[in-house]
Amino acid sequence: MSDPDPRGLSINLATLRGQCDLLQAVEQCLAQGITAIAPWRDQIAKVGLPAAARAVRENGLRVTGLCRGGMFPAADAAGRRAAIEDNLLALEEAAELGADCLVLVVGGLPEGSRDIAGARAMVADGIATLLEPARKAGMPLAIEPLHPMYAADRACINTLDQALDLCEALDRDGLDLGVAVDAYHVWWDPNLEGALRRAGKRILAHHICDWLVPTRDLLLDRGMMGDGVIDLAGLRRSVEAAGFHGPQEVEIFSAENWWKRPPEEVVATCLERWRLHCQA
């Protein structure tokens, strides 16, 4: 059996954050036949949106998602308005890049708050406000549920079912609001299989990496595929059975390991491990 086509793999550019700017990361991906990326907004800002968009167009790149919008909860109305304004800018950037979706990391508790239900209500209100501009821009929004360890500071939406509840409440037709399924954040969920079946066409992105045992840092110690305990091939089968067949997007935050290695080694390892550990 021949190796899978590298066009089935996307590199989230956080994976090369320690070594490369956006344009350098694009060169590293293209050198190994990878033509899909997912940039972060700060990486775009560093090189400028026109240069980033030009690199995408001239190299025929697929942008599997723009990271990130969201961060809706705030302690006051001014903070919530500022979050909406920033998300509107993110929509413009995603549209300029022709991204498949704008990924939403929704935000956690406002400073000083213990009201997680209130934070979740702010998230729902924020997404509802964005839906019409997203519709006009032709840019789907992808809620990314994060592991519960991030509920306080990064995302108070922590399971795929919670994200889908929001999708169904705010976008009944399923045309403008979906989910990003990140292996690192959802692998532990005892209802994951049922949630993936429920998600169906709402799956807009599939992120992969591995959960290391032990994990030394809850944010910056994600594992390369095959180095941890996630059944990545099984998850791929379930995601594809639900109806998503887009590229798998490697997203690895690794301050003490992969961010310190030569970028060509990192990209080559992503490709090799994806072929070994992530195929259905």
**72 occurs within a structural domain:** yes
**34 occurs within a structural domain:** yes
CATH number, domain with residue 156: 3.20.20.150
> What domain count does the chain have?
1
Residue range 120-135: average pLDDT? 98
**30 occurs within a structural domain:** yes
Rg (CA), the chain: 18
Residue range 90-103: average pLDDT? 98
The fraction of the chain above a pLDDT of 70, given in percent, is 99
How do residues 200-236 score in pLDDT, each as one tens digit? 999 999 999 999 999 999 999 999 999 999 999 999 9
- Which range marks the domain in which residue 242 is found? 6-277
The tokens describing 210, both together, are: 């591995």
**1 occurs within a structural domain:** no
Does the model's pTM come out above 0.95?
Answer: yes
**59 occurs within a structural domain:** yes
Residue 39, C-beta contacts closer than 8 angstroms, at least 6 positions apart: 13, 22, 52, 63, 66, 67, 97
